[in-house]
Amino acid sequence: MSPRKVVVLGYGMAGARLADEIRRRDPDGSRVALTVVGEESEHAYNRVLLSAVVAGTMQPDLVLLHEPAWAEEHHVDLRTGVAAVDIDRERRVVTLSDESEVDYDALVLALGSKPWLPPVEGLAREDGTPAPGVVAFRTLEDCERILAESKVGAPVAVLGGGLLGLEAARGLAGRGNLVTVVHPAGHVMERQLDAGGGHVLTRLLATHGIDFRLNAAAARYLPGSGLKLDDGSKVAADLVVVSAGVRAETELARRAGLTVDRGIVVDDTLRTSDGRICALGDCAQHPGTVSGLVEPAWQQAAVLADLLTGARVSSRYQGTRVVTKLKARGIDLTALGDAHTDVHDPDAEVLSLTDPTGGRYTKLVIREDRVTGAILLGAPDAAATITQLYDRGVPVPADRLAVLLGRALPSGTPAAAGPADLPASAVVCRCNSVTKGRLIEAFRAGATEVTELASVTRATTGCGSCRDTVCGITDWLATTS
């Protein structure tokens, strides 16, 4: 029987991971004939690590997810530098921008998202692309432009104080640029942080040479000069980096007649309104996840690979318990769950400690004896403990203050717990969704050094906060194998 034709439109982090997961279940392609189409000319790369490229702490080739020979070695028909322009659902054919056609039995949309440019006078050309001197921080090509156009010591404005904007700002400041972040809200990262956490983070980032203009919006872009704000003041900038949010890439799906809301609507099997077409990642809209983060996309990829290969037909995606980490050198920030609950909520326990001078802020939200939210800035021990509690859904130890200080351990964890005592399901590297079980698997397959584990699993190649844990697991495996 001939293999099923599966076509993946999109060769970003979601599409690449799906291809990997499919080939993990069907190595020789006997069940799935796989075609992957990517609009960018580069091989897939890890967008999570782009701020490290801007900072100069990581070379562009180190963020690649696949080696040049990956497609041939894994029996994948990979087509880069070409985009899908039309889906004929009746004929089950996709037309590409080079006028070629690809037929499918199952089609997967992994189209990602596109940066949003605020309606600021002069910021965009007539065709909607950024004006000269303006870069939307989204792709590896954007990083190359930023590095080429931001001379060391030159002023740079970053539009947007969300997660990605702050990572870009910290990277540029680390290179020696004079960075000003312009953000319309009263505090940074307002989706993940409350006002207290946002203010401490702003103060901490200021010690790294970053200025902030909060509660301010850009009104006009002045080429070669900078920005005029809505209060009449100006921000000097040779380059403006825009990180003001993204929008799901839905146009192709909309033209094909699929159900689209903020994203392409999918169910727990990741199917769209057409049963032969699925979607995952930033372009997909599922009620159990948050867009713009990699962890949900990679979990969706595992479920979809189970279904497309028939490896586990009962597999379902039921949402992701997202843990967000700011990947900025010199800053340890973890935010999870609903951290905006305040002390006046009668159904929640809310504990917090603030140390602005020390750059530390911790907040813990507990409902029915379980962690439901937390903000942990400058508190890596507490972050490790509380993330375990959140992931495992186990009761919070009675000494709440000890938990907030990182001195209490989840129930069932040995008193002298170290990295080796973590359960196999524990996520060790959040940036790359690497579990302890995956590290053990890679170690037993021959990757017995930390550098080899990093190469195989990408653990430690993101923000670097998991390196000590990976080293501990590696040492343990070396003594027990």
Would 358 be classed as within a structural domain? yes
Question: What pLDDT was estimated at residue 211?
Answer: 97
Confidence of residue 36 (pLDDT cuts 50, 70, 90): very high
Within 10 angstroms of residue 125's Cβ, the number of other Cβ atoms is 11
**Is residue 418's pLDDT more than 70?**
no
Are 110 and 251 found together in one domain? yes
Would 126 be classed as within a structural domain? no
Cβ burial 202-223 (10 Å sphere, 16+ → b, else e): bebbeeeebbbbbebbbeebbe
What CA–CA distance (Å, rounded) separates 13 from 294?
7
Are 406 and 434 found together in one domain? no
Cβ burial 138-152 (10 Å sphere, 16+ → b, else e): bbbebbebbbebbee
Give 84-109 pLDDT, tens digit per residue: 999 999 999 999 999 999 999 999 99
Question: What pLDDT was estimated at residue 414?
Answer: 44
Question: What pLDDT was estimated at residue 423?
Answer: 74
**Is residue 232's pLDDT more than 60?**
yes
**Is residue 411's pLDDT more than 60?**
no
Are 391 and 443 found together in one domain? no
Are 253 and 109 found together in one domain? yes
Are 305 and 401 found together in one domain? no
Cα distance from N-terminal residue to C-terminal residue, the chain: 42
Question: What pLDDT was estimated at residue 269?
Answer: 97
Give 279-310 pLDDT, tens digit per residue: 999 999 998 777 777 888 988 999 999 999 99
* Amino acid identity, position 320: T
Question: What pLDDT was estimated at residue 311?
Answer: 96
Tell me the average pLDDT of the chain.
Answer: 91
The total number of structural domains in the chain stands at 4
What CA–CA distance (Å, rounded) separates 58 from 123?
29
Q: Domain limits at 460? A: 420-481
Are 11 and 35 found together in one domain? yes
Question: What pLDDT was estimated at residue 61?
Answer: 85
**Is residue 420's pLDDT more than 80?**
no
Are 212 and 288 found together in one domain? no
> What value does the mean pLDDT take over residues 355-367?
95
Are 8 and 69 found together in one domain? yes
What is the dihedral angle through the alpha carbons of 204, 205, 210, 215, rounded to the nearest 10 degrees? -90
Q: Which of 150-154, 203-207, 374-378, 463-467 has the lowest mean pLDDT?
A: 463-467
Are 215 and 359 found together in one domain? no
Are 334 and 387 found together in one domain? yes
> What value does the mean pLDDT take over residues 338-351?
92
Q: Which of 341-350, 366-375, 406-415, 452-461 has the lowest mean pLDDT?
A: 406-415
> What value does the mean pLDDT take over residues 461-470?
70
Would 317 be classed as within a structural domain? no
Phi, psi of 167 (to 5 degrees): -65, -40
Q: What is the CATH number of the domain that holds 176?
A: 3.50.50.60
Are 407 and 424 found together in one domain? no
Confidence of residue 461 (pLDDT cuts 50, 70, 90): low
**Which of 413, 437, 460 corresponds to the end of one domain?**
413
Q: Which of 87-101, 116-130, 154-168, 415-429 has the lowest mean pLDDT?
A: 415-429
What CA–CA distance (Å, rounded) separates 419 from 428?
9
Would 16 be classed as within a structural domain? yes
Would 321 be classed as within a structural domain? no
Would 255 be classed as within a structural domain? yes
Would 267 be classed as within a structural domain? yes
- Collect all residues with Cβ–Cβ distance below 8 Å to 400 and sequence separation of at least 6: 349, 351, 364, 366
Would 322 be classed as within a structural domain? no
Are 230 and 285 found together in one domain? no
Q: What is the CATH number of the domain that holds 382?
A: 3.30.390.30
